[in-house]
Amino acid sequence: MSGSGQDSEGTENAEKSGATIAEPVGDAATLQAALAEVTQKFNETNDRMYRIAADFENSRKRWEKEKSDLKSYCISEFARDLLPVIDSFDKAMTAIEQLTLNVDTEEGKQVASIVEGVQLVSKVFADTLKKHGVEKLPGRGEAFNPNFHNAIAKTVDTTLQQEMVVDEFLAGYRIGERILRTAMVRVASPD
């Protein structure tokens, strides 16, 4: 068979299947222009796709931050409401530390058992607060920081180089970078 016989046979098969054979479109310049147009549209579409993907990623990050901020805000409000409970536990723990028990008596053993229970509850409570990011602000023995401390009393100590917290009347707390309550302190200053 010759080459022209195969061509006519291919045309017959194409006609039977309903397909048509495309005629040559045009010269090379026309094809180049069409290719350039299609390439430009592809590049524009590709660029739009990358911009949409970047916008989506930025939105996702913004939503995650807003979600985190909302969670922090909700926990902050709840933790702020718990501060009086924390203060009460701190006072109880201070009183317990100063308590002298006679564990040789039945009454002393009962009180020791109650003390142990209060200490355990206080520890579990403190661990739960820590788990949720609630931290005590630096207090006694630390440099005075007006962001963390509210000086309600002041003394002079000429041996100091800077203002220092010498007493803490009420502990301060924060959650992350958010201050729940500043500490009420006495400050010693060099002047």
Give pLDDT, residue 70. 85
Residue pair 118/149 in contact by the 8 Å Cβ criterion: no
Q: pLDDT tens across 87-116, in order?
A: 988 888 888 888 777 778 888 888 888 888
End-to-end CA distance of the chain: 114
Q: Which of 61, 72, 63 is nearest to 177 (CA)?
A: 72
Confidence grade of residue 8 (pLDDT, cut at 50, 70, 90)? low
| Residue 1 scores a pLDDT above 50 | no
Q: 29-43, 47-61, 83-97: which range is least confident on average?
A: 83-97
Place of tokens 């006679």: 102
Domain ranges of the chain: 133-191
Alpha helices in 18-105 (DSSP H): 28-97
Residues near 92 by beta carbon (within 8 Å), at least 6 away in sequence: 118, 122
User: Maximum Cα–Cα distance for the chain, whole Å?
Assistant: 121
Query: Residue 22: its pLDDT value, please?
Result: 59
Residue 85 CB partners (closer than 8 Å, separation 6+): 125
- pLDDT, greater one: 106 or 58: 58
Quote the tokens at residue 67.
């979600």
Rounded mean pLDDT, 28-48: 93
Does the structure show a pLDDT above 90 at 158?
no
pLDDT above 60 (res 177): yes
Architecture category of domain 133-191 in CATH: Roll (2.30)
Residue 191 to residue 168: CA distance in whole angstroms: 20
For residue 161, what pLDDT is reported?
Answer: 85
Report the pLDDT value the prediction gives residue 14, as an integer from 0 to 100.
52
- Quote the CA–CA distance of 54 and 61 in Å, as a whole number: 11
Residue 24: per-residue pLDDT: 58
pLDDT tens, residue by residue, 61-89: 999 999 988 887 888 888 899 999 989 88
